[in-house]
Chain A
Amino acid sequence: MQLKMSKSSDKMTAFEGQDLQTQALREKAMLFCVAIAIPSLILILWEMTTRMGWVDELFLPSLSGIVNEFFAMTRKGYAGTPLLSHVLGSLRRVFTAFTVGTLVGLLLGLLMGYYKYVRAAFYVVTELLRPIPPLAFITLFILWFGIGEVSKVLIILYAGALIVMLNTMAGVQSCPKDKILAAQTLGANDLAIFLYVILPAALPSIFTGMRVALSVDFGILVAAELLAGDLGIGYIIQDASTFFNVEGLFVGILMIGFFGVMSDFLLRIIASRVVHWQG
């Protein structure tokens, strides 16, 4: 009797489980449709407004115009330089600065999080620098390091490193005390505790910092390229707006958005692989 009852209730829950699963799938599909539908609608509206001549092409070019401009650029290049060179130039700046900046920020952040005295030593400087927008330093950097690659890469590097450093430090300090004590009572020395406990506990914060840093880096990149030089997506944006080439301007903006999204996506995948234990 008892057995029978429990059996049938088992079946019920298994059945219900399947039902829940299809329901969850259906919901996922719906959400996906909504997520795709709204942007599509915006694009259609955009194309319509421009086709019907509701707004001047000078303020909002047609989608097809932008696409044409993009393909024209891929064929003829921009300002005498192949489009690919502009793109690679920008990406090289960002990724050099991001990589080095992350390493520097990580190192400083770990030291500051772990050693009170290092934290004290850097405290005033970081608290002073933190509220200053990195762009405020850009002309200073140009003055110090010239108008070429170095100052561009350095300003991006600085902005990213500061963010990674602060997040890494916070991550190290957020490591639960009882986990450190548990490791100690299992015989771990300071180095082992750092490697096996504090560092993994800080990884989620570190990756958050890296993602924020990367998006900030793209912003600084464009600003730095707007200001000086004749290569890069920021240069295209700047140059196109000087000549009222609104289609070209949009191509530049959309390319920055595209690469920003793609690189964040990549970083998110890496993060979810590394920080896989959060469910």
Chain B
Amino acid sequence: MSKSPIHPVSSLDRQSELENSPAQLISLDRVSFGYSHKRLVLQDLDLEIKQGEFLTLLGPSGCGKSTILNLIAGFYKPLLGRVTHGGEDIKGPSARRGVVFQSNALFDWMTVEQNVGFGFRFQAVSKHERKKRVETIIALVGLRGNERKYPYQLSGGMRQRVAVARSMVVQPEILLMDEPFAAVDVQTREGLQEELLKLHEQVSGAILFVTHSIEEAVFLSDRIVILDRNLGGIAHDIKIHLPEPRYTAMNRVSDAFNQYRTDLYLKMKAIE
């Protein structure tokens, strides 16, 4: 799979690659769930995420996007149905499934370096390798020179970068991101999106992303799932074909991009 920036590979290659890869990473099989027994939040939901796929969930507020993430992360268990990872039931949180919280959830008492390296404490990785990988990812998210700083000394965008780096550096098979960039300004947000795409290219895991921004969804995703309100389940499941590499500015203004945006906008309006 070549990804030379000079000769953009058609996205069809990436899509057909995902298409041909049979490997389901995460699968929700007729899942029903409610935080209490009085009210269901999800009913008979089926959803599959493939290895390496970038999938985004869109949908009206309260339709259960965060709930789906919580179930896959292992923070909750389904009332009915199965949530599996590589064919095995998800029993609880695991380092194989990373999570980036909207609140960034950084450890305020640790430096940037220590935050990013935290996951390695629980892995059999040599000190040297650890240091190298932490350094590399800190450079990748553009935080070089800030290694010894504490979270309170960083801006909101920088903190979110640390959170993404912290989750990605241990190479989870899937990264769950719940509106991770909602709290930063537009410019920072675009930078973060581009970095995320680059990281996704380097680190091979899948990403399940939640956002309210249609533009963000189109720009980032291989596939977008729109959830219906009121236990309606999946309303639309759309594949996004945009030229590689995805993180070019062109991909924010191209006709193809605008078409997806319009289409998704109308679909979302129809639900609301």
**Measuring CB to CB, which residues of chain A are less than 8 angstroms from any residue of chain B?**
176, 178-179, 181-189, 192, 196-197, 200-201, 203, 276-279
- B94 contacts which of A182, A185, A276, A278 (Cβ < 8 Å)? A185
The SS class assigned to the A binding surface is helix
Complex formed: what's the CA distance from A101 to B118 in Å? 33
Q: Quick check: is B166 within 8 A (CB to CB) of the other chain?
A: yes
In contact, A184 and B108 (Cβ under 8 angstroms): no
* Closest 3 A/B residue pairs (Cβ): A187-B95, A187-B122, A186-B119
Name the A residues within 8 Å of B164 (CB-CB): none
Q: Can you list 12 A-B contacts (CB < 8 A)? A: A176-B103, A178-B103, A181-B93, A182-B166, A185-B95, A185-B97, A187-B95, A187-B123, A188-B121, A196-B107, A200-B107, A279-B153
Residue of B nearest to A182 (CB): B105
In contact, B95 and A186 (Cβ under 8 angstroms): yes
Name the B residues within 8 Å of A188 (CB-CB): 118, 121-122
In contact, A196 and B118 (Cβ under 8 angstroms): yes
**Measuring CB to CB, which residues of chain B are less than 8 angstroms from any residue of chain A?**
73, 75, 92-95, 97-99, 101, 103, 105-109, 118-119, 121-123, 150-153, 166-167, 170, 172
CB distance from A35 to the nearest CB of B (A): 28
In contact, A186 and B107 (Cβ under 8 angstroms): no
Name the A residues within 8 Å of B75 (CB-CB): 181
In contact, A187 and B170 (Cβ under 8 angstroms): yes
Name the B residues within 8 Å of A186 (CB-CB): 95, 98, 118-119, 122, 166-167, 170
CB distance from B109 to the nearest CB of A (A): 4
Complex formed: what's the CA distance from A176 to B102 in Å? 13
CB distance from A278 to the nearest CB of B (A): 7
In contact, B167 and A185 (Cβ under 8 angstroms): yes
In contact, B122 and A189 (Cβ under 8 angstroms): yes
- Choose among A184, A197, A279 the residue with the greatest number of B CB atoms under 10 Å from its CB: A184
- Choose among A184, A185, A186, A196 the residue with the greatest number of B CB atoms under 10 Å from its CB: A185
Complex formed: what's the CA distance from A179 to B109 in Å? 12
CB distance from B105 to the nearest CB of A (A): 4
Residue of A nearest to B111 (CB): A277
In contact, B152 and A184 (Cβ under 8 angstroms): no
Whether A184 contacts B93 in the complex (CB less than 8 A), given A278-B152, A279-B152, comes out as yes
Sample of 4 more A-B contacts, CB < 8 Å, known A181-B75, A278-B152: A176-B105, A186-B119, A187-B94, A279-B152
In contact, B105 and A277 (Cβ under 8 angstroms): no
CB distance from B193 to the nearest CB of A (A): 22
Name the A residues within 8 Å of B92 (CB-CB): 184
Complex formed: what's the CA distance from A184 to B92 in Å? 9
CB distance from A149 to the nearest CB of B (A): 39
Complex formed: what's the CA distance from A85 to B54 in Å? 74
CB distance from B200 to the nearest CB of A (A): 18
CB distance from B122 to the nearest CB of A (A): 4
Complex formed: what's the CA distance from A96 to B190 in Å? 58
- Choose among A182, A188, A276, A278 the residue with the greatest number of B CB atoms under 10 Å from its CB: A182
Complex formed: what's the CA distance from A216 to B156 in Å? 40
Name the A residues within 8 Å of B167 (CB-CB): 185-186
CB distance from A193 to the nearest CB of B (A): 11
Whether A183 contacts B152 in the complex (CB less than 8 A), given A178-B101, A178-B103, comes out as no
